[in-house]
Amino acid sequence: MNALLAAVLLSLVSAFCYATAAIVQERIAATTRPSRYGLLRSRRWWGAVALNSLGAILHVGALSLGPLTVVQPLGVLTLVLAAPLAAVLVRRTVSASAWHGIFIVSGGLAVLLVLTGSTPVRGLGGAGQIGLTVAVACLLALLLVTATTAGRKVPMLRSVTLAAAAGVAYGAASVFIKTVADSWSPTLPGLMSTAPLMVLIGVLAAVGLAASQSSYRGGGLAAPLATTTVVNPAFAAAVGIVMLGEGFRFGIAGAVGALVAGAVTAWGLAVLAADSAGHRLRPSRPPQVPAEGPGPVVIRAPGRLSGAVHQAVVRMPPVRASTRPPASRR
């Protein structure tokens, strides 16, 4: 088995772990009340953390064996696997429009990333690492502020913005993971040089996990998952083009094709968001209770009265007969 095939297989299993974890996170958000530390007592949440961690470890292994622009596009399989897994695990029916949006997003993103160059011209040096860290911090701060302010009026905007923040954090972490994997050295100086990047990767992973968990509350499964899955590889590809010297294949034709694929991806994301919002805004019909006809009429035999009526009759004082003669008529 060559390195590229191993990277593809690891990416497939990683996408399966991420999709399963996303379903568990969405169910936790839909069935529990908001709490600052309540999730720490949930076994399901820790299970989702374990699945995300396993997916991240497999993703690191794939990045160490294959190029960034081959491993990252396989993240769209998280979207493809989430729908059938949700149907199997939580008995959720996936609408036709949701399937439509998933296929549009997957196809558009796959074309977009396939057109991206696969061989970086230069590595990410120390100055580039600092510049990328500052840019990611500013972008995450902007997205989190937007989710906090504008998201109060538009819940879907909050969900999509938090999912985008998670995608940026995960995408930046992938770039730094690739940098560590390319420059890895088991010696003490090598470990000391990569230690700051390892800490930064851990911080970005924690931010991505927290943002993705919050994005599922009130946003459903499809739209937040689609946003994170789109932004993650797209951000990594943008860093590769701007900072690593990568470009689009086939020259101008490839650049035009990438723009078209990006527009198609945005369209599919809009379809998913509209479907998710429609399910939440659609009023649920109250259960129809069949109209009851007149009940059976109970005819009692003449005799002793029952219940309160009998007690009232018994307790009534006897009426004495009047002894006065009736008035004479004229």
- pLDDT at residue number 26: 78
Asked if residues 44 and 29 have their Cβ atoms less than 8 Å apart, the reply is: no
Give the pair of three-digit tokens for residue 103: 């296929």
DSSP 204: H
Distance CA 220, CA 27 (A): 9
Report if residue 297 sits inside a domain.
Answer: no
Report if residue 142 sits inside a domain.
Answer: yes
The domain containing residue 242 runs over which residues? 3-281
Asked if residues 216 and 26 have their Cβ atoms less than 8 Å apart, the reply is: yes
Asked if residues 77 and 15 have their Cβ atoms less than 8 Å apart, the reply is: yes
**Count of CB atoms situated within 10 Å of the CB of 70:** 19
Using CA of residue 26, residue 27, residue 28, residue 32, what is the dihedral sign?
positive
Which H or E element spans position 257? helix 251-281
Cα angle 324, 327, 330 (rounded to 5 degrees) comes to 165
Report if residue 242 sits inside a domain.
Answer: yes
Report if residue 162 sits inside a domain.
Answer: yes
Asked if residues 250 and 115 have their Cβ atoms less than 8 Å apart, the reply is: yes
- pLDDT at residue number 276: 63
Report if residue 203 sits inside a domain.
Answer: yes
Q: How many residues does the chain have?
A: 330
Report if residue 125 sits inside a domain.
Answer: yes
Phi and psi at residue 232, in whole multiples of 5°?
A: -55, -60
Report if residue 296 sits inside a domain.
Answer: no
Ordered mean pLDDT values, 10 residues apiece, the chain (330 residues): 82 91 82 70 85 89 78 77 80 80 82 68 78 95 90 82 93 88 76 87 92 83 78 83 76 85 81 65 48 49 48 50 52
Using CA of residue 133, residue 135, residue 138, residue 140, what is the dihedral sign?
negative
Positions of E strands within 244-290: none
What is the count of structural domains for the chain? 1
List, in sequence order, every residue forming a beta bridge with 116; answer none if it has no partner: 248
Amino acid, res. 8: V
Report if residue 189 sits inside a domain.
Answer: yes
Non-local (6+) Cβ contacts of 61 within 8 A are 7, 10
Per DSSP, the three-state class of 305 is coil
